[in-house]
Amino acid sequence: MKLTAGQTFVLIGDSITEAGRDMTGEDTPWSPGTGFGSGYVNFLNALMLSDSPDAGVRMINQGLGGHTTRDLKARWQSDVLDLDPDWLSVAIGVNDVWRQFDVPLRKETHVYAEEYERTYDELLEKTRGQLAGLILISPFVMEPHRENPMRATMDHYGRIVETLARKHNAYFVDAQAELDKLMQHIPATALAWDRIHINSVGHMALARAVYKIIA
């Protein structure tokens, strides 16, 4: 495994990362089984420990529902830098796009592509030098029709993340591509009732994609 004992792995993002985790963000004696939430972070930890029970890696879930890159910028110091991670995974962008479609008249909540890329890039510039490994996960929507306006916008933001991954020498997880594979066989609404909040099958697909990188 690329991570070694004693290292810290922080995973930050929105509700997809949070997935109902408690505020510790960790599996501790006083929050057994709840700190990682019920999503891909929890599955990733299970995959890691089932293969490497002596891994000795400290994982911290820093996902918070509804957050955009603006929100990450506001909490980057406390939720990333102050934890001095060795590895960092970032999954952000779903809400940057979604707010443009679910509340189209509340333009103050919209994070358009230029701001998204600039803010994301600034955060990575602050952090990349101290990391042994960096993973960037693209945003996604459970919409199989690529010409759909929200899907097209999400794909554009995903390409921004891929560009940033190349710039910052990071691993890139194309979450949309992983979930597209599932939608070839399972209806989108069966995987995510609102096209965003994926079920355990979707979360497992993301966990496996990340685990392939660190294994």
Whether the Cβ atoms of residue 213 and residue 173 lie closer than 8 Å to each other: yes
Q: Mean per-residue pLDDT for 163-184?
A: 98
CATH topology of domain 8-214: Rossmann fold (3.40.50)
Position 35 scores a pLDDT of 92
The residue assigned the tokens 């443009």 is: 100
Position 34 scores a pLDDT of 85
Coil/strand/helix, residue 153: helix
For the segment 119-161, what is each residue's pLDDT rounded down to a tens digit? 999 999 999 999 999 999 999 999 999 999 999 999 999 999 9
Position 160 scores a pLDDT of 98
For the segment 18-49, what is each residue's pLDDT rounded down to a tens digit? 999 998 999 877 767 789 999 999 999 999 99
Q: State the angle between helix axes of 94-102 and 149-167 in degrees (0 to 180), rounded to the nearest 10.
A: 160
Whether the Cβ atoms of residue 123 and residue 45 lie closer than 8 Å to each other: no
The one catalytic residue among 15, 67, 138, 155: 15
For the segment 84-119, what is each residue's pLDDT rounded down to a tens digit? 999 999 999 999 999 999 999 999 999 999 999 999
Cα–Cα distance list, 108 to 28, 66, 98 (Å)? 38, 14, 13
82 carries an active-site annotation: no
d(CA 138, CA 181) in angstroms, rounded, equals 15
31 carries an active-site annotation: no
Q: Which helix (H) or strand (E) holds 98?
A: helix 94-102
Position 89 scores a pLDDT of 98
The one catalytic residue among 22, 180, 197, 200: 197
Position 192 scores a pLDDT of 98
Position 202 scores a pLDDT of 98
Q: What is the model's pTM? A: 0.96
Chain-centroid distance of CA 45 in Å reads 14
197 carries an active-site annotation: yes
Sheet holding 87-91, edge to edge: 58-63, 8-13, 87-91, 133-137, 171-173
Q: State the angle between helix axes of 113-127 and 149-167 in degrees (0 to 180), rounded to the nearest 10.
A: 30
